[in-house]
Chains A and B, each alone.
Chain A
Amino acid sequence: MSFELKKNKPISTGSIVAYFFILLTVLIINYPFFWMIMTSLKTNSEVFNSNSFFPQDVKWGNYAEAWKAANWSRYFMNSFIFALIPVAGQIFFGSLAANAFTKEFKGSKILFTLFLGTMMIPVGSIMVPNYVIVKNLGWLNTYNSMTVPFLSSAFSIFLLRQHFMTIPKELEDAAIMDGAGYFYYLFRIIMPLSVAPMLTVGLLTFMGRWNDFVWVVIMTTSEKLRTVQLGLTVFRSDWNTEWGNLMAACTFISIPVILLFLTIQKKYINGLMLGSVKG
């Protein structure tokens, strides 16, 4: 389990080769992003008449044009609502359930297995019945259908429980001796000690919701509930959307999720490397 990097290694030909290849890989992988941003700064005539990668005369106006062409502020607000409410839900309800599952009680093992079992059922195979359920709840075209089903997930519960289990039991005994109740202990002691896994849960939920497309398409038809992802596909199929405008829209709707990722990337990537966040 050594996680130490081999430091103070002299620069060898081997490492120069490694840097050459990793740079090449990073350039290839990020090429679509470079291309997206470069095209977002080009005029339409340049897109069609020039082979240059860089824009000849930079047209920042694409961003303003794209922003004005659709009701983006509404779509952004919707996307934030549909992402942030589940983030809060997964952290709150996830912590509640995770803490219950750190205790032994009658049927706790079976219940926990049943929760984990939900991860075995592929989302694609239950989208039809979920449409029926949401429809029968009268939730089509409502904020409920976009938030309530995502207020908790087995994965978050699992992840939080993994961390809660590492908190020594003595801490709870001591807290209870001092008169702390079950929920006081959970909210004031356990949760503040679990910021890292809660951030991971938050990031994964935000990413999943912000980037989600299929659920929104199925559950909503109303323009009022359109998210940025759906807005983007509609914006694309509006006839004659200029490439520059389209790429500008692609860029600005990706910014929130990328900013969030950059803020917590270190914790998240380290968690992923330790194998604690696979999924």
Chain B
Amino acid sequence: MNRTNKIKDKLIIGVSLAPAAVIALLFTYMAFIFCLVISFTDWNMLRPMSFVGFENYVYAFTSKEFLNTLRLSFIYALWGVPLCVIIGMAIGVLLNWITFCSGFFRVMVFLPVVTSMVVASIVWGKIFDPQMGSLNQMLNAIGISTDSHWFNWTKDSMGGSMAALLIVGIWKQVGYNGILFLGGLKNISTEFYEAALIDGAGSWKRFTKITLPLLSPTTFMVTMLQVFSAFKVIVSVIVLTKGGPADSTDLLVHHIYNNAFKYFNMGYSSAVSVILFVIILAFTFIQLTFEKKFVYYR
């Protein structure tokens, strides 16, 4: 009796996990192993593949284009992450401050998160349009000259294109971060503030001495989320800049995509995929170590 029950239990567990396990195995783990294997070949979809050892990796780290891609991705992250965190925090503080209609404002800052990146990139692309777009018109209206080639945005301005990608990326993320910060702020007990008020601390002092330290777990989590998402950017690149002008916005995932599906360098783009994985892995380790050590918990 007991034995048949045990077999039945195992069967139930097996049946329950099978569909999810097949999908995880096939489309993630096997895919990853394939990726590793392909990265050591010269496969280009035309001729049969042959193993070339570390050639793709050596090529990557000695070629200008890959180092450029890597540099651009880090530049994107170095600008995007702090801005997303700071603006997100400001939105969180504002949302925490207000009481009336708070639900409405939460929804309103969240709408870009829900919208597709394709729509976001197309709409922003028109706003960025140097002649007809409303951004330059507005800048002109408030007295900022848009004669500099920067303000050609996605049309043949290298810095402008990167700035455009950053603006779209930040716009899409800050509402999400704002809500995460709001959650963190609501977790801070009001007793701390009451005590500080009695001690006569001003609002800036209360923010820097109470809010910031007690919010640090959220800040850390949001920062890491932003780092990961900075290295995943692709749709805005495809739709808004196509990696250009002159490869100035050819971020990592777009580089993988272009090499694989435009030039059919499957071997090389798999090698870049593995490098991307290693970068994400390194950040995950940073996250796991620092989470324990440096975050100030109550």
Q: Is the CB of A7 within 8 A of B99?
A: yes
Q: Is B295 an interface residue (CB 8 A)?
A: no
Given contacts A269-B106, A275-B183, contact A125 B189 (CB under 8 A): no
Residue of B19, B28, B100, B134 with highest tally of chain A CB at under 10 A: B28
| Residues of chain A lying within 8 A (CB to CB) of residue B296 | none
Residues 148-189 of B at the A interface (beta carbon under 8 Å): 171, 174-176, 179-180, 182-183, 186-187, 189
Other-chain residue from A94, A120, A247, A261 in contact with B280 (beta carbon distance below 8 A): A120
B197 within 8 A of A: no
Q: Which B residues from 219 to 262 make CB contacts under 8 A with A?
A: 221, 225, 228, 231-232, 234-235, 238-239, 252-253, 256-257, 260-261
A1-25 CB contact bits vs B (8 Å, 1 = yes)? 1110111010000110011011001
- Given the complex of chains A and B, what is the CA–CA distance between A162 and B48 in angstroms? 47
Closest to B126 in A: A243
The reply on B67 being an interface residue by CB < 8 A is: no
* Residues on the B chain within 8 Å of A51, using CB: 137
- Interface status of A36 (Cβ within 8 A of chain B): yes
Q: By the criterion CB–CB under 8 Å, are A129 and B20 in contact?
A: no
Q: Is the CB of A35 within 8 A of B127?
A: yes
Residues on A with beta carbons closer than 8 Å to the beta carbon of B116: 210-211, 213, 229, 253-254, 257
**Main secondary structure on chain B at its contact with chain A?**
helix
A2 and B189 contacting across the interface, CB-CB below 8 Å: yes
- Evaluate whether A103 and B99 lie within 8 angstroms (CB atoms) in the complex, with A121-B28, A122-B231, A124-B256 already known: no
- Are A133 and B99 neighbours in the complex by a CB distance under 8 Å? no
Report the separation of the CA atoms of residues A149 and B27 in the bound assembly, to the nearest whole angstrom: 7
Q: Is the CB of B17 within 8 A of A111?
A: yes
| A32-B133 Cα distance, complex, nearest whole Å | 11
B181 nearest in chain A by CB position: A273
Among candidates A18, A39, A125, A250, residue contacting B274 with C-beta atoms closer than 8 Å: A125
B210: interface (CB < 8 Å): no
Instruction: Say whether A18 contacts B97, CB under 8 Å.
Output: yes
Q: Which residue of A lies closest to B222 (CB)?
A: A278
Q: Is the beta-carbon distance between A207 and B134 smaller than 8 angstroms?
A: no
CB of A198 to closest CB in B, whole Å: 16
Q: B29 contacts A118, CB within 8 Å?
A: yes
A125 with B35: in contact, given A29-B109, A97-B16, A115-B24 (CB under 8 Å)?
yes
Closest B residue to A148 by CB, please name it.
Answer: B23
The contact of B20 among A32, A97, A131, by CB within 8 Å, is A97
User: Which residues in A have their C-beta under 8 angstroms from that of B102?
Assistant: 5
Contact pick for B111, options A29, A154, A217, A243, CB 8 Å = A29
Near A by CB (< 8 A), chain B positions 1-60 give 9-10, 12-13, 15-17, 19-21, 23-24, 26-35, 38
Shortest C-beta distance, B4 to chain A (Å), equals 14
Which residues of chain B are near A182, meaning CB under 8 Å? 12
Q: Chain A residues with Cβ under 8 A from B105's Cβ? A: 22, 26
Among A2, A148, A149, the residue within 8 A (CB) of B186 is A2
- Does A174 lie at the interface of the complex (its beta carbon under 8 Å from any beta carbon of B)? no
Is B77 interfacial (CB 8 A cutoff)? no
Count of chain B residues with a beta carbon within 8 Å of a chain A beta carbon: 93
Pair A133/B27 contact, Cβ less than 8 Å: yes
Q: Which A residues touch B174, using CB under 8 A?
A: 29
User: B273: CB under 8 A from chain A?
Assistant: yes
Given contacts A5-B102, A97-B20, A122-B280, whether A36 and B123 have CB atoms under 8 Å apart is yes
Does chain B have a CB within 8 A of A157? yes
The answer to whether B118 touches A229, judged by C-beta atoms less than 8 angstroms apart, is yes
Contacts A122-B276, A122-B277, A269-B179 given; indicate if A6 touches B234 (C-beta within 8 A): no
Min C-beta distance of B144 to chain A, whole Å? 16
Cβ of A177 < 8 Å from any Cβ of B?
A: no
Asked whether any CB of chain B lies closer than 8 Å to the CB of A59, the reply is no
3 smallest A-B Cβ distances: which pairs?
A: A273-B183, A211-B116, A124-B253
* Cross-chain pairs A/B with CB under 8 angstroms, 19 sampled: A2-B189, A22-B94, A29-B108, A29-B175, A30-B108, A36-B123, A51-B137, A122-B232, A122-B253, A132-B34, A132-B38, A133-B27, A133-B31, A210-B116, A214-B257, A257-B114, A257-B116, A269-B106, A272-B179
Give A residues with C-beta under 8 Å from B: 1-3, 5-7, 9, 14-15, 18-19, 21-22, 25-26, 29-30, 32-33, 35-36, 39, 47-48, 51, 53, 93-94, 96-97, 99-100, 103, 105, 111, 114-115, 118, 120-133, 148-149, 151-154, 157, 182-183, 207, 210-211, 213-214, 217-218, 229, 232-233, 236, 243, 246-247, 250, 253-254, 257-258, 261-262, 265-266, 269, 272-275, 278
What 18 new A-B contacts, CB under 8 Å, besides A120-B284, A278-B221?
A: A30-B111, A32-B123, A32-B171, A97-B17, A97-B20, A100-B17, A121-B280, A126-B35, A129-B33, A129-B35, A129-B270, A131-B261, A148-B23, A151-B23, A211-B116, A213-B118, A257-B115, A258-B114
